[in-house]
Amino acid sequence: MDTSGGVRAEGSAVGHFAAGEPGGDAGVRCGRTPAPHRPAHGRGVAERRAPRRRRPSRPSEADLGCFHVSPPPGGPHQHATRALYRALWDAVREAGRKDLHPVLAVGVEITAALRTALIPDVAVLNRPPVSVDYPAAALELVVEVWSPGNTMRERETKVAAYAAAGVPYLWTVHQRGRGTIEFRAFELVGGTYQERVHGTGDDVVSEVPGPVPLALSCADLVPVS
């Protein structure tokens, strides 16, 4: 169904994006305690890639100079992620868009007010996937699958960063537990993510906003018992 809710990029205005959703306990690793002569917030995106800085062995995201290291995603998270990746892959091929490339868990060089570097679960690139990290300009769509362990602050921070970086489309899947999910698709309009599609349960959402035409069954995002 279509809705008209919006998500702003600045400050606490993103709060209603995840209002009432439970928090979590995703791991946070901030490295060494800053020495008096070192900036408390660490380095930015460019310095994060320097050889002398060791990266965590698990997929991680840098937020204000700290690495947020999440545990391996659970089965429902992996199922939803791969289902969306397959749907996008098929839609891109069907549309004959050789300039678009769906990818899984790539590093994104986003430097916004929060100075974050992110790893979306799925992304659609407008250039061949031949690098390790990609600038925001390479992104046509990002997809985030919210697990119960994703805190409200983490979700708001990611949404704000994507909006500030000008990523045209954002899809989210919130796993509610007991085999239920909520799918939302947003379009960036004037620096604000406007919700265009919302589905749950057995809903089949059509005309999902994105770089290619796509219809999606929400039931496909949940593992079959």
Q: Residue 83 and residue 141: Cα distance in Å, rounded?
A: 16
Q: Is pLDDT above 90 for 187?
A: yes
Residue 135 placed within a domain: yes
Q: Is pLDDT above 90 for 128?
A: yes
Residue 1 placed within a domain: no
Q: Which residue carries 């999440």 as its tokens?
A: 70
pLDDT in tens, 82-120: 999 999 999 999 999 999 999 999 999 986 555 557 899
Q: What three-state secondary structure class fits 93? A: helix
- The predicted structure's pLDDT at residue 130: 94
Residue 217 placed within a domain: yes
Residue 113 placed within a domain: yes
- The predicted structure's pLDDT at residue 80: 94
Give the largest CA-CA distance in the chain: 57
Q: Residue 16 and residue 33: Cα distance in Å, rounded?
A: 34
Helix, strand, coil percentages, rounded to 5, for the chain: 25, 30, 45
Residue 171 placed within a domain: yes
- Average pLDDT of the residues of the chain: 76
pTM here is 0.71
Q: Is pLDDT above 50 for 18?
A: no
Q: Residue 170 and residue 126: Cα distance in Å, rounded?
A: 15
- The predicted structure's pLDDT at residue 41: 42
CATH number of domain containing 85 = 3.90.1570.10
Instruction: Look at the chain and report how many structural domains it folds into.
Output: 1
Mean local confidence (pLDDT), 131-147: 94
Q: Residue 173 and residue 197: Cα distance in Å, rounded?
A: 12
pLDDT in tens, 192-222: 999 999 999 999 998 899 999 999 999 999 9
Joined together, the tokens standing for residue 3 give: 């809705």
Q: Residue 95 and residue 31: Cα distance in Å, rounded?
A: 45
Residue with the bigger pLDDT between 179 and 36: it is 179
Joined together, the tokens standing for residue 52 give: 């002398």
Question: For 214, phi and psi rounded to 5 degrees?
Answer: -160, 140
Q: Residue 193 and residue 170: Cα distance in Å, rounded?
A: 8
Q: Is pLDDT above 70 for 62?
A: no
Which residues lie below 8 Å from residue 224, measured CB to CB, with a gap of 6+? none
Contact between 98 and 124 under an 8 Å Cβ cutoff? The reply is: no
For the ranges 6-10, 47-51, 70-74, 192-196, the maximum mean pLDDT occurs at: 192-196
Question: For 83, phi and psi rounded to 5 degrees?
Answer: -65, -40
- The predicted structure's pLDDT at residue 111: 63
Contact between 125 and 88 under an 8 Å Cβ cutoff? The reply is: no
Q: Domain of 177?
A: 6-33+39-50+56-221
Residue 186 placed within a domain: yes
Joined together, the tokens standing for residue 72 give: 């391996």
- The predicted structure's pLDDT at residue 60: 53
Run of H or E including 75: helix 75-94
Side chain identity at 37, as an amino acid letter? Answer: H
Q: Residue 222 and residue 210: Cα distance in Å, rounded?
A: 21
